[in-house]
Chains A and B, each alone.
Chain A
Amino acid sequence: GENVEQHPSTLSVQEGDSAVIKCTYSDSASNYFPWYKQELGKGPQLIIDIRSNVGEKKDQRIAVTLNKTAKHFSLHITETQPEDSAVYFCAVNTGFQKLVFGTGTRLLVSP
């Protein structure tokens, strides 16, 4: 089945710095790559997604880049703020139409 690896598992940055989280996957048929943010005690919430016909997508301070040849995609958060502190999950759809999630990255933004 699809294997999704997510790194790092924890990331600490100072407010205003950039944060980058990377995911690799194995199924070359995958064509949908969402990122979810989970705040403490809440369910995950979609923050950005990308489909395989584009290489980059931006939404204000958040961007996702996709390299289908290398089978990896990354989440970039610029000008981090304390409210960005959360757990972030990448996900990949498989040829069997199921979403497989990465293991999560705990981001801590210190003031």
Chain B
Amino acid sequence: NAGVTQTPKFQVLKTGQSMTLQCAQDMNHNSMYWYRQDPGMGLRLIYYSASEGTTDKGEVPNGYNVSRLNKREFSLRLESAAPSQTSVYFCASSTQLNTGELFFGEGSRLTVL
């Protein structure tokens, strides 16, 4: 079972460049999330999608956009990357919004120079 798959695993960008992180889950989950993880700050929610067709801002949405392409896929886009967006990004999914187990991908390490 693949679970939650994120691509790419590593990416280096220059300031101002754009990129999209892809996420797909094969567990038929309704809800999907994007988190960023920075040293000493735990996991912070960027955006989430409670169900197909809906997206909402999390704790730190500035500089990001998301698309819930279908039930399986939830992408995160950086339109104009900044050094402050250097982080490890995790996609997660769950059957329902925030009341059960989150299943995480293995992360995407992004460096913005």
Contact surface of A with B, Cβ cutoff 8 Å? 1, 6, 9, 32, 34, 36, 41-46, 49, 89, 93, 97-104
Contacts and interface: CB of A to CB of B under 8 A. Distances in A.
Contacts of B97: 97
A43 B42 contact: no
B42 A89 contact: yes
B106 A103 contact: no
Given A49-B101, A99-B98, A44 B90 contact: yes
Contact of B4 (A9, A43, A101): A43
B99 A93 contact: yes
A66 to B, nearest CB: 16
Contact of A43 (B41, B48, B104): B104
Contacts, number: 53
Interface residues of B, number: 22
Nearest to A104: B42
B106 A42 contact: yes
Interface of B is mostly: loop
A61 B41 CA distance: 28
B62 to A, nearest CB: 16
Interface of B: 4, 35, 40-45, 48, 58-59, 90, 92, 97-99, 101-102, 104-107
A97 B102 contact: no
B41 to A, nearest CB: 6
Choose among A44, A89, A104 the residue with the greatest number of B CB atoms under 10 Å from its CB.
A44
A31 B15 CA distance: 41
Contacts of B41: 103
Contacts of A93: 98-99
Contact of B107 (A43, A101, A103): A43
Contact of B42 (A41, A98, A102): A102
A36 to B, nearest CB: 8
B99 to A, nearest CB: 6
B9 to A, nearest CB: 10
A98 B98 contact: yes
B99 A32 contact: yes
